[in-house]
Amino acid sequence: MKNILLPTDFSENAWNAIIYAITLYKDEACNFYFLHAYDVNDYHDSSKLTPIPAKEALKKALDLANHDLQRLMEILKITYHNPLHVFHSLAENKSLIAAISSEINSKEYECIVIGTQGSTGAYQTLYGSNTIAIMEQIKNCPILAIPSHVAFSGLSEIVLVNGYKNSQKKNDLKYLIKLANETNASIRMLYIDEGSGLSENQKKNKSLLDAHLENVPHSFHSLAHVSVPVGIYCFTESRGSDMIAFINKKHSFFENLLFTHLYRDVGKYALIPVLVLHKKS
């Protein structure tokens, strides 16, 4: 069975991401793990130098988290009953990133599905701080971010944005290829031309991607004289694409910094789910 991790803060956006996930995998046998991370800020008076949460506060927070998780699962079992799906609850007194990291190291997950905003929402951007943090810091599991207004209605086209500057191994594309095959989706490679055209190395990397995707319907496209976020928005909107995918390298601080800005910028334009893959070591 596939294992799917679903962090939740019980917001409407988290609920929408959950519904997207269970609908996406409606024909697959899956374990869905609902993870709620929380902080306890009520400390013993005697622990000011090294703060220790009071036992009563810990128990109260855990009981509340478990209550909300059980209620969530009960609603899902009634409203979205599926004999192929098994629901599990996880309540962790940790930061969200620490809780996710711990969980994905404990078992093999197919992917992490998150909403693009938290319970506080945001006015100027579609992506909340938790979404950005997960995309930046969780490196060893595919991450699928779902905008609050998006309902799953099938996948016909996934746009993989790539500059062809780095060679990709087929394993880097494993989840993307599997997702495309399972949903009968096509993959459209999008290159934003920065003005100098493709170098010989970029042409080689493009050919390598073509070979990796030989068993998936795919095609190559390019846009010029436009910024990356605007180019992505124009391309996906004009075609009615269903998902945007990126591959992030994990070992370069400066490259990760660039991806951080890309995530934040794309969040202003992306109206469809975003899939973040990470290049394997």
Q: What does the pLDDT look like over 19-55, one tens digit per residue? A: 999 999 999 999 999 999 998 765 555 445 555 566 7
pLDDT of residue 251: 46
d(CA 134, CA 114): 9
In tens, the pLDDT along 187-229 reads 999 999 877 789 999 999 999 999 999 999 999 999 998 888 8
Give the containing element (helix H, strand E) for 6: strand 2-7
pLDDT of residue 131: 83
pLDDT of residue 123: 36
| Domain range list for the chain | 2-146, 157-278
Mean pLDDT for the chain overall? 86
Query: Regarding predicted confidence, which is higher, 57 or 109?
Result: 109
pLDDT of residue 43: 57
Residue 14 in tokens: 């988290």
CATH ID of 2-146, from 3.40.50.720, 3.40.50.620, 3.40.50.11860, 1.20.1050.10: 3.40.50.620
pLDDT of residue 76: 96
Is the pLDDT confidence value at 122 over 90? no
In tens, the pLDDT along 135-177 reads 888 989 999 999 988 999 999 999 999 999 889 899 999 999 9
CATH ID of 157-278, from 1.10.10.10, 3.40.50.620, 3.40.50.360, 3.30.70.260: 3.40.50.620
d(CA 148, CA 14): 8
Quick one: which of 191, 150, 154, 208 has its CA closest to 25? 154
Decide: residue 158, CB within 10 A, 0-12 exposed, 13-18 middle, 19+ buried. Answer: buried
Distances (CA, A) of 152 to 2, 16, 33, 57, 221: 19, 10, 19, 39, 25
Are domains 2-146 and 157-278 of this chain identical in fold? yes
Percent of the chain at pLDDT > 70 equals: 82
Q: Where are the extended beta strands (E) located within 83-207?
A: 85-92, 111-115, 143-146, 157-161, 186-193
